Amino acid sequence: MEELVRSRGTSHRSKSSHRRVVEADRVEESWCQAADPFEQAAGQVLLQPDPFLNELTSMFERSTEKGSIWVTLKRSSMKCKATRNKMETSGQPIEYRCLVRATDGKKTISTSLSAKEYQKFQASYATVLKAHMNALKKRERKDRKKTVEPEKKQDSSKSNSSKKRALSTLKPSK
């Protein structure tokens, strides 16, 4: 039952978020139906973790002036419902993975992580976010006036330090 036609470039935000939900189930369905394991329903690309991170980085770099990046995490067995039910009834243990999807509104990429891969991915992912999510406001917890510290030339008698006193009063928050 395909109630939503996937047309890119829609401006209806509420519809697009619902579309993403439908997409979620569709990715899982198509994963077991497609002959070619990389073929996904309607242009979603399943990558290995490292290429995914590279592509995510590119997405961030392209979206600085305008646009959004969505990253979704979901638990998934990567198997369609039919297969899952069969496995459940036959007593086979189902291995769950973490499905990670990223989109810039136009292109969607995804990867799936196993128990062995996820910690390494988690670290690299954090690095990517830290490097690119720097438009957020840094809050100065202590709003200090620039107090002039008394110079202690006699303390360690070296040549006059050229350190800017202003910098020494700033402390990184948290």
Partner 1 sequence: MVYIESWDEFVDRSLQLFRADPQSSRYVMKYRHCDGKLVLKVTDNRECLKFKTDQAQDAKKMEKLNNIFFTLMVRGPDADISEASSKEQMEQQASKKGRGRRQ
Residue ranges in contact with partner 1 by CB under 8 A: 21, 24, 60, 63-75, 96-98, 113-115, 118-123, 125-126, 129-130, 132-139, 173-174
Which residues make Cβ contacts (< 8 Å) with residue 62, sequence separation at least 6?
A: 104
CB of 159 to partner 1, least distance (A): 37
Least separation in angstroms between residue 42's CB and partner 1 is 19
Q: Please give the structure tokens belonging to residue 81.
A: 């419902």
Identify which of residues 6 and 70 has a Cβ nearer to partner 1 in the complex. Answer: 70
For the chain, how far is it from start to end, CA to CA, in angstroms? 50
For partner 1, the closer of residues 40 and 49 by Cβ is 49
**Is-contact 49 117, C-beta < 8 A?**
yes
Tokens of 84: 């899952």
Nearer to partner 1, 86 or 120 (CB): 120
Q: Closest distance between partner 1 and the C-beta of residue 59, in Å?
A: 10
Distance CA 97, CA 17 (A): 23
